[in-house]
Every structure is written in structure tokens, then in C-alpha cells.
Chain A
Amino acid sequence: GAVVSQHPSWVICKSGTSVKIECRSLDFQATTMFWYRQFPKQSLMLMATSNEGSKATYEQGVEKDKFLINHASLTLSTLTVTSAHPEDSSFYICSAREPGLAGDEQYFGPGTRLTVT
């Protein structure tokens, strides 16, 4: 299957600072990428849909000015958590669909664990 990578795999930052998480589709071009967040013992919650060359679409309750998403190329989307606070500590997972003749499976990155101190 297709490979989606994320960087970094984990990050610790101080409250008030900003953190950027990268998501790359390694062997396919992804017009659309998705960002999810997962708190401990909970399921994945969709944060936003990222479209190459246009503004992201955010889910209700997700602050677009706090979680900046940039999808500048067909293989890279970035999520920047601005002015991070301890409540932003979470597991952030990106995903992309691989278009193909048989359909489009959704593949997930390995996740980035953010800890805000």
C-alpha cells in the first residue's frame, strides 16, 4: 500500500510556542489530505481537510487560526499548532487518499505525539 510519513514522530514544546508537523505522501500524489487528533483512550477525531492549493476546511469546533494548515504541493501538507497550550497535547495523525483504478484507499501516517509543557 501507499506510504504516508510524518515528521517529527514526537515533539515537546513549551506553552506559548508554535509547532509545525509535516505530512508527506511518499509514493503518490495526494490532492487531499486529512488531519486527525486523538486524545488518550479516545478515537480519532477529524480536525480538517487539506486541499492542495486552496484553503483547508475545518471541522466544527476546530480553531482555524490556531491550527494552521498549508498544502503547498501534492505530496506535502503541514499543520502548525500556534501558541500551543497543554490542552493541545495530543496524538496528531495525517492521512491521504491514494487515487487508483480500483478506488482510493485512505492511508495514514504514523502520527506525531505533541506534548506541551
Chain B
Amino acid sequence: DAKTTQPTSMDCAEGRAANLPCNHSTISGNEYVYWYRQIHSQGPQYIIHGLKNNETNEMASLIITEDRKSSTLILPHATLRDTAVYYCIVGLRNSGNTPLVFGKGTRLSVIA
């Protein structure tokens, strides 16, 4: 079972920041937080991951609370192409045989 809870859907105006929350209150000390997104009829795309520090890459920023029980994915300037289902997943690193388990995700709609 997925160990995360996300809102079912969110809307965001084009050009504004999209802030997607995720609760993972049962995360263990060595589990990472991963974010993937899935655009309609495509395979999931890796976005970012983190353990306890905030992370930023060319796609997004990941803010993890100090107690690690929740996190927020930030798309700084959302575009129409960011419309997708966003999945927050917790899992171990370097665990070759252990797959990522997907929850229901958040359907983000970016509106012009």
C-alpha cells in the first residue's frame, strides 16, 4: 500500500507557482521522498527526490518538513504542459529489487 496521502486534484493559473502537498507521516528514517508525474497516456516521469534537506533542480523544488512527515513539491512557474497527475512516493534508495509503490496522486490542472 502507498504510504502517502495527497489531495485528489488541484488547479493552478498558468505562470503562477503550483504547490503540491503530500503527507507521509509513517515515513521511516532511511526512506526518501520521490516525486513523479504522469502526463496523459505516457509513462511516469521522474521529477525530484529528497531525504531531509530541501532540494531544487531544473524542474521543481522539494520542501520537506523538519519532522519529515510531510513535503511540498513546488513548480515555480506552472505552464499548460505541467498539467499531469503528480505522485508522491516514499521508498528506499539503492534497493534494486524494491519497486516504487504508487498511490492515487494529485491531478494538477494548469489553467490559462
A residues touching B (Cβ–Cβ < 8 Å)? 1, 4, 6, 31-32, 34, 36, 43-46, 49, 51, 91, 93, 95, 97, 99, 103-111, 113
B residues touching A (Cβ–Cβ < 8 Å)? 2, 36, 38, 41-46, 49, 87, 93-97, 99-105
**Are B93's CB and A103's CB within 8 A?**
yes
**Are B43's CB and A43's CB within 8 A?**
no
Q: Chain A: interface secondary structure?
A: strand
Given contact pairs A44-B102, A49-B99, A111 touches B93 in the complex (Cβ within 8 A): no
**Are B42's CB and A103's CB within 8 A?**
no
Bound complex: CA A1 to CA B2 (Å): 25
Residue numbers in A under 8 Å from B103 (CB-CB) = 43
**Are B101's CB and A105's CB within 8 A?**
no
Bound complex: CA A104 to CA B91 (Å): 11
Report the nearest A residue to B49, measured CB to CB.
A105
Q: How far is the CB of B112 from the nearest CB of chain A, in Å?
A: 24
Q: How far is the CB of A10 from the nearest CB of chain B, in Å?
A: 9
Bound complex: CA A111 to CA B97 (Å): 21
**Are A109's CB and B43's CB within 8 A?**
yes
A-B contact pairs, 19 of them (CB 8 A): A1-B46, A4-B43, A32-B97, A36-B102, A43-B103, A43-B104, A43-B105, A46-B99, A46-B101, A51-B97, A95-B43, A95-B44, A103-B93, A103-B94, A104-B93, A104-B94, A106-B100, A108-B44, A110-B43
Given contact pairs A43-B105, A44-B102, A110 touches B42 in the complex (Cβ within 8 A): yes
Report the nearest B residue to A102, measured CB to CB.
B93
Report the nearest B residue to A42, measured CB to CB.
B104
